[in-house]
Structure formats: C-alpha cells, structure tokens
Structure 1
Amino acid sequence: MARETVFKDQSKLSPDYIPETLVHRDEEFRELSRLFKPVFENKASQRVLVTGSVGVGKTTLALKFGQELEQAAKRRDFKLDYIHVNCRKQRTPHMVVRKLAEHYLPRLPRRGLAPQEILEDVVKQLNTHDAYLVLALDELDYFVSRNGPDLLYSFTRAAEETGAPGRISIIATSRNPNFLRLLDEATKSTFMHNKIELDKYNAQQLADILKDRVKVAFKMDTVREDTIGLVSETAAQTGDARFALELLWVAGRIADQEGIQEVSPEHARGAKAHVFPGIRKEVLKDLRKHEILLLLALSRHLKISEQAYALTGEVEDAYNVVCEEYEEEARKHTQVWEYLKRLSDLGIIETQPSGEEHRGKSQKISIPDAPVEMLEEELEKILGKLEKSGSVEIP
C-alpha cells in the first residue's frame, strides 16, 4: 500500500467514469439538447437513437446528458428522472422493466406481474406525481436481436393508453448504424427519425481525450507526451477511446510494477501486448459459465488448428472436452446453438454458413478481434475465479 505509484485516481480511466467535459462530443451533446427541448417547453416526449461502434462515447454521452438534464429540470422545478438501463445486462423484457420499476415501485412483488403490467404501474406513478421520465436503453440492438422490438413499442403504447403520451422519452444506443431498418414500421416510427451518429475518433481526438484523463488519473508529470502520442496512434486503428484508456491504464500499471515514476512509450508498447481491442474484458466477465467454456473451446481449437475458422461440430467436440476438464456437464446441441448466437450478438465471434462442401446447418465460426492465445489465457483466469468463488451456473 505504501509503494510509490504514478496514479492519482485509477478510477478516472474506467469505462464507468463520467468526465466533467465530453471531449470532441460537444456537438452531439448540443444536438441532444436541441432534440429534448420540447420535453421542457411543451411536455412532449422525445425518442432518439445514438449509434456508433465500440468506444466512441455512446454510453458516456447518454449518461452525461442525463446528469445535465436532471440538473436543468431541478432548476426549473420540473419533475424529471433519468434512468439508465444496460440492455446487455438486463437481457429480458422483465429484467428491463423491473430495473425501471425499482425507482418508482420499490415494494413491487418479485413475481406474478407481466412486464406490461409493471410498465402501466410506472406510468400511473408518473401521472400521479406529474413527473416525467427519460429512459436510456443502452445497447438496445443487442436486446432487440434477442427479444424482438415489442418492449420498445410497449413504452410508447403504455403511456398513450393511460392518457399520458408525453411522460416517457427514450434515448437508445446501438452499435449497428442500420438498426432502425431492422424494426417494423410501428416501432421504427417511435424514434421520429431522430438519429445521432458518432464517428470513430482519430489519433488527435484520442490524444485530446487522453490528455484530459491524465490530468485527473495520474500524478503530475508522470505521463510523457510521446507516450500519449503512441497510445493514440495505436488506438486510432480502431477509433476506440476505451481501448486507448485501457492501454494507458495498463502502461501505468507496468510502470508501477517496475518502480518507475514515469510512463514511457516502452510501457505503452508493453501494454499493447496485454490488451486487445474489439473484446472488452467486462463483456467477458458478464458471460455465463458455459458461454465461457464454449468460447474457451473455440479459442483452443483455433490456436491448435491455426485455421481462420472452426466448424460447428468441431467447436462442440472441443466444448465437450473443456467441460470434462472443468467437471461440468456439457449442454445439449440446441443450448450450444443458443450460446453461439449470444456470443455472436455480443460481437465476440462471427458466424457464417459453411458452404456447400459441408452438410446440414453447419457454420464457420471465427474470432476476428482478439488473439486467440491471449483470449484463452483471459478466459482461464475468469474460470479460475469462478471456481474459487463457488459461483452457481445460471442456465
């Protein structure tokens, strides 16, 4: 604990940290403000879709805007709540609605009520207290791919059916820029053609973001200018600010381990060997145990075979071996297909038809965004922690 460190506050490099200012997202912030002006002026609901790839600031933009929105409402003596729901973690309609209901209906029974009933009770609470809600549905594209668009449409319908069409506004985020095309016309119309697209960051923008975070995360004069430049250039290949921040954090950790009070380009190069873009570690930690076992099996097969992809049957065979190693009962074929679909929805794997040379519904499965040897090592660490904690598998 008494050891010297280059850090002042490591949490300021976390994906969960909301910075004081949004570097290079002020234009998009102003656009959100313009779109939500009718909520205050006319008590009219709004629905906005924010799209962009991993690490371009969708979640941070929504959270920061939510903070400012609540403060603006308080100054106007206007009852408004901002509630942020991660649809990857709250992955069913019931879980999403219950997360929302925790704020308004804390004594709600845990079982026995359908999502639509809970939603109607929330709207009644809004009506009773003359209050308004801005609901952020983060990673909505993932949720809709699993559950369909019905819940999204229900938010609008529930308010209309209780005579309060302006009570609920929505900010949705999506990685898929063409997400609206996947919806039916009724659901698509709920967004009123309001769409904000976030471009990938370039090297200079990433450098500006890192400089802003260095001020609050590191002690003064511990991070060299050329280190920031190298990290920015490395992360600019993906345009991913999360990747850049994680690289800088790991570089700082390496400097600490070496007992050096300066984060150098060499530390940044060392960090690159430990961090891979495309797959965030928090995504891996949210996986269920058998999804981790299946992904581990795929990683090992691709490493041993040195091929770009594996066939479904090969992955199942490897999965059975991994289950035996970890003393777990392997799931049936249909459940394995469900695991593969979820891993694909999360963007961890890619699947495509295997072609005419292979019979049946076999697919080619690949891991495009991470070195399989590093992924294997990370998955084994997660499984080791699960075994130590005695976690119970969720089907």
Structure 2
Amino acid sequence: MIAEPAVMFRDRRTLDLSYVPEELPCREQERKQLLESLLPAAAGEHSRQVVISGEYGVGKTALAKRVGRDLASIARENRYKFRYIHVNCRHKSPLIVLADIVWKSFGRRIPTRGCSLEELLQHFRYSVIEEGVSLLIALDEADSFWYYGRDGEVLLYNLVRFSDDSLDSDLPSLSLMLVCRLDFLLKETLHGDTLALLRDQVYLRKYTLEQLREITEYRASKALYREAYDSEIVDLIARVAEPFGSARVALQTLRLAAEKAAADGLPRIYPEYVREAAESVCPRDGWGISELTTEQATILLAVASLLKSREKPYVKTGDVW
C-alpha cells in the first residue's frame, strides 16, 4: 500500500526554491547589515543603493527578499508610504524590466511596443511623484544588463541616480538592491560617479560544510516530520552540496530524496534516496564500472552490499576488508 506523502511532509512548500523562510541560517549578520543600511529608505529619508553578490546558491535572492519584506513590515507599523518590489532581470530587456517595475509598483500595465526606454522612464518618474511613495526595488541578476549595452547602462543610471538628479526635494526616495553573481559586469555597465554611489556591498561566500548542515537541518525541520530524517541524512545531504558551497543543491537534494521515499510508500528518507537524488541534482561525469579492475569491482560490490544491508550512509574501511 502506498503511503500518503503527508506522513513524511509537514509543509512541502518550505522546500520550494522560491520560499523565503522567517530565519536565514548563516546569513543573519548580512541581514542585519542590510536592514541597518536600508532603514532610512523605508522611512523615506534617503535613497540607498546596495549590491549583493556571490555564486549560485549562496542565498542572495532569499536575503534580498527577506530584507525587503522586513522593511515593508517596519514601514506598515510606522505608517510610512513605502513599497518593496522584486524583479528578476534574467533574459529580459531593460525596457521589459522597467515595465515590470511599473506594474509591480503601481499596478499599471504599460504596452512596450513602440515605446522607448526614455519615454517609459519619464512615465515612471511621473508615477512615483503622483503616488508619493518611496520605493525599494530589488533587481535580481542585475549583471545581465551588461548584455544589453547602452540600454542597460541607461536604465541603471537613471534608477541609481533617480533622487539625485532631481531638484525637487519632495521627490520620494528610490532605493535599490542590485543582486548579481558577476559584480564586475555590473561595474562595467556603470561608470564614474554613478558607480561611486554603490558603496554598500555585501559579498556572500560559499557555504561551509557545517553551515550546509545547519541550513539542511533547519529547512528539514520545517518541511518534514522529525521521524522522516536523522542527523546522518542531514550530514549526507550537506556533503553532497559541500563541493558547490550551495544551499540550493542541498535543498533540492533534500526535496527530491523526500519525494522519492514518499513515492515508494516510506515514512522516512534512507541514504540510497539521497544518493539517487544527488545524481539528478548534480550529475557527475565519471568512468564506468567496466573500466574497474577485478579487485576494484569486488571492493565496490562489498561497499554497496554493506550500505544496502545496514541502511547507513557510510561504512568503515575495516568492515569492507
């Protein structure tokens, strides 16, 4: 009889890549740093521009969204006129990105056909003045603007200098979180005085093994019942993700392993499901079994047999021999 997934899953959505948890294990220091830097933006006092950079899977998007939502909550409590929006720039022209900004900021659909970037920028400026609301815009994968040449430079220039270029002291502030992997492309898109405005920069390093254990344990506790996994499973998943330093790899492996175990009617995750999930998440090129010597193949068979019979993620060398 096939078990219901609910036996294993407490809340499946907490393993989605788009999910933003209340806590950010191993990124709380950066969260506090960004909140302190951007708090004047929520109050509408000053515009701020920050750059969040790092490799894939190090928590850039989750950090930006968590900070944005925290600031929106603070603004509501203090009745500030403030809005936070998050726009992914990947595979989007600067014109489309700006149209998305207008839509998410003010709920207005702007036809982009036959409209120039400069015209849409002017419309955006009028809308900000009309609404009288301070904005914090997170531009995810902002380094992709480099591929659009002048249009990318024009959009970033106008957004970064939105408040500075106006003689109107009553113009609401516009602040930015520029999220990128290749920050040097962002720097090549902006030049001179504009680049100097991006003083606040947060670089996220790859996660260590211990940090990956902490993140995996935290997210597993939110997504799964405690009986569905143990510390050995958490450690095995963390070790899968360690070469990449990526929480994304760890969480995808956890989700897929849990789904595979649940599909087989099991109430908990076993090591073989983690290994199977790991091959799907991060397949490795390697030599085939046919290339092993007889001695190597015999040892491999012994290791596989022990792992299967003991349902453990590791075996000792002495047990194999």
1:163 maps to 2:168: yes
Distance in 2 of aligned mates of 1:167 and 1:117: 20
Q: Is the 8 A contact 2:41 2:174 kept in 1?
A: no
Distance in 2 of aligned mates of 1:203 and 1:176: 24
Distance in 1 of aligned mates of 2:187 and 2:113: 35
Looking at CA atoms only, which structure, 1 or 2, has the larger radius of gyration? 2
User: 1:94 corresponds to which residue?
Assistant: 95
Of 64, 67, 70 in structure 1, the residue corresponding to residue 66 of structure 2 is 64
Distance in 2 of aligned mates of 1:180 and 1:106: 28
Within 5 A, what are the aligned runs for 1:189-208?
189-191=196-198, 193-208=199-214
Residues 136, 277 of structure 1: alpha-carbon distance in 2 compared, 3 angstrom cutoff: farther
User: 2:293 corresponds to which residue?
Assistant: none
SS in 2 for 1:237: coil
Any idea what the Cα deviations from partners look like across 1:205-246, whole Å, max 9, x if unmatched?
111111111122112310121011011012011110000000
User: 2:48 corresponds to which residue?
Assistant: 46
User: 1:185 corresponds to which residue?
Assistant: 192
Residues 141, 107 of structure 1: alpha-carbon distance in 2 compared, 3 angstrom cutoff: closer
Distance in 1 of aligned mates of 2:109 and 2:145: 26
SS in 2 for 1:113: coil
Unpaired runs of 5+ residues, structure 1, are: 279-395
- Report the identity percentage: 30
When the two chains are superposed, the root-mean-square deviation of aligned CA atoms in Å is 2.5
TM-score, normalisation: structure 2:
0.79
Any idea what the Cα deviations from partners look like across 1:295-318, whole Å, max 9, x if unmatched?
xxxxxxxxxxxxxxxxxxxxxxxx
Of 180, 200, 217 in structure 1, the residue corresponding to residue 223 of structure 2 is 217
Any idea what the Cα deviations from partners look like across 1:80-137, whole Å, max 9, x if unmatched?
1111110104x10111010011132515345333222222222222223321000101
User: 2:155 corresponds to which residue?
Assistant: 151
SS in 1 for 2:127: helix
One-letter amino acid of the structure 1 residue matched with residue 99 of structure 2: R
Within 5 A, what are the aligned runs for 1:80-119?
80-89=82-91, 91-102=92-103, 103-104=105-106, 106=108, 108-119=110-121
Of 13, 16, 33 in structure 2, the residue corresponding to residue 14 of structure 1 is 16
Per the TM alignment, residue 266 of structure 1 is displaced from its structure 2 partner at its CA by 1.9
Greater RCO structure (CA 8 Å; 6+ sep): 2
Distance in 2 of aligned mates of 1:189 and 1:273: 44
One-letter amino acid of the structure 1 residue matched with residue 227 of structure 2: D
Q: Is the 8 A contact 1:119 1:158 kept in 2?
A: no
Distance in 1 of aligned mates of 2:98 and 2:241: 36
Q: Is the 8 A contact 1:153 1:190 kept in 2?
A: no
Per the TM alignment, residue 41 of structure 1 is displaced from its structure 2 partner at its CA by 5.7
SS in 1 for 2:118: helix
Residues 272, 261 of structure 1: alpha-carbon distance in 2 compared, 3 angstrom cutoff: same
1:174 maps to 2:180: yes
Matched residue count: 278
Distance in 2 of aligned mates of 1:162 and 1:88: 33
Q: Is the 8 A contact 1:139 1:174 kept in 2?
A: yes
Distance in 1 of aligned mates of 2:184 and 2:114: 36
Unpaired runs of 5+ residues, structure 2, are: 285-321
